[in-house]
Amino acid sequence: MKITLKVWRQARNSADGAMVAYELDNVSAEMSFLEMLDMLNEQLTGEKKEPVAFDHDCREGICGMCGVVINGSPHGRYESPVATTTCQLHMRNFHDGDVIEVEPWRAGAFPVIKDLVVDRSAFDKIIQSGGYISVNTGSAPDAHSTPAPKRQADKAFDAATCIGCGACVAACPNGSGMLFTSAKITHLANLPQGQPERHLRIKAMVATHDDLGFGGCQNIGECASVCPKQIPLESIAQLNRDLIASLFRGDGKTA
């Protein structure tokens, strides 16, 4: 296939960026989207031009490192029949002669580093503020000492599949990180081990989320529709319920 790419080029955070067009020939349908970008970079390198910077690592949809906006949708969600990460999007979803626009995540909390690479360390900070169970190594009881009902354990698992890629934030008109935050809240709130710190956790995480410059949630739902791991919008409902309940509890700092 012949593909025309329009890629966001920005030398550094403080520089202005622009969309730049490139022509690619002989793109095969079996290639992944990132392999197509590799091909572009080989071509640019051959012309002694600077290749396009983009984040990627595992290329099997699990590490959460890759992520670009493709034709307006994060990870090219609306180019694919199924939920996907950028690395798992394949060129068989495109046609000969297509023009594809590629941009970085755009959100206040994710400053651009270069080209398609953004800084998502704000996500780590949300987890640091309480997205864990406080258990030191060596102090755990036998794994079977507390059975966990399967239905709730499965619910916890569904939320725990979040890969922290940031597509939810990129999709949200408000740049909100609520789906990400609620995935961790829902994961830990559905396990017996997560109960002691449940109220403490939610107040701290939501406060940090707001401090970091993420926008507020208006239940628009774009986040859940592009999420590669299909974290359901109900997670945010769980977060809101728990947050309200926690406001009547004394433990933890207040939101």
Partner 1 sequence: MAVTNKKTTEPEVAPDSTYFTPGEDIHDTKAPAGPIEKKWPQRQFTAKLVNPANRRKLTVIIVGTGLAGGAAAATLGEAGYHVLNFCYQDSPRRAHSIAAQGGINAAKNYRNDNDSVYRLFYDTVKGGDYRARETNVYRLAEVSGNIIDQCVAQGVPFAREYGGLLDTRSFGGVQVQRTFYARGQTGQQLLIGAYQALERQINAGTVEMHNRHEMVELIVHDGRARGIVTRDMVTGQIEAWYADAVVLATGGYGNVFFLSTNAMGCNVTATWRAHRKGAYFANPCFTQIHPTCIPVHGDTQSKLTLMSESLRNDGRIWVPKKAEDCTKDPRQIAEADRDYYLERIYPAFGNLVPRDIASRQAKNMCDEGRGVGPLVTEVTQDGKSQQRRRGVYLDFSDAIQRLGRKAVEAKYGNLFDMYQQITGENPYETPMRIYPAVHYTMGGLWVDYDLESSIPGLYVCGEANFSDHGANRLGASALMQGLADGYFVLPNTINDYLAGGPFEKVDDSTAEAAEALASAKGRVDKLLAVQGSRSVDSFHKALGAIMWEYCGMERTEDGLKGAIDKIRALREEFWRDVNVTGVNEDFNQALERAGRVADFMELAELMCIDALNRRESCGGHFRRESQTEDGEALRHDDEYAYVAAWEYAGDGVKPVLHKEPLEYEFIELKQRSYK
**Residues between 126 and 145 with contacts to partner 1, criterion CB under 8 A:** 127-129, 131-144
Stretch that binds partner 1, among 110-118, 171-179, 234-242, 245-253 (CB under 8 A): 110-118
Using CB under 8 A as the binding rule, whether residue 153 contacts partner 1 is answered as yes
**Residues between 201 and 240 with contacts to partner 1, criterion CB under 8 A:** none
What is the smallest separation between the CB atom of 155 and partner 1, expressed in angstroms? 9
134 closest CA partner among 201, 78, 223, 84: 201
**CA angle 34–36–38, rounded 5-degree value:** 70
Where do the DSSP E strands lie in the chain? 3-9, 18-24, 69-70, 73-74, 99-103, 112-114, 117-118
Stretch that binds partner 1, among 97-105, 184-192, 215-223, 242-250 (CB under 8 A): 184-192
**CA angle 27–30–35, rounded 5-degree value:** 60
Among 25, 96, 97, 147, binds partner 1 (CB under 8 A): 147
What residue type is assigned to position 150 of the chain? Answer: K
Stretch that binds partner 1, among 71-79, 98-106, 148-156, 235-243 (CB under 8 A): 148-156
Among 48, 173, 248, 250, binds partner 1 (CB under 8 A): 48
Spatial distance between the Cα atoms of 122 and 130, rounded to a whole number of angstroms: 13
> What SS3 state is found at 8?
strand
Q: How far is CA 160 from CA 28, 116, 179, 215, in A?
A: 35, 27, 12, 23
SS3 content of the chain, % helix, strand, coil (to 5): 40, 15, 50
Among 18, 99, 108, 157, binds partner 1 (CB under 8 A): 157
Looking at the Cβ atoms of 133 and 219, the one nearer to partner 1 is 133
Using CB under 8 A as the binding rule, whether residue 3 contacts partner 1 is answered as no
Site string for partner 1, 64-83 (x = CB under 8 A): xx----------------x-
Using CB under 8 A as the binding rule, whether residue 200 contacts partner 1 is answered as no
Using CB under 8 A as the binding rule, whether residue 121 contacts partner 1 is answered as yes
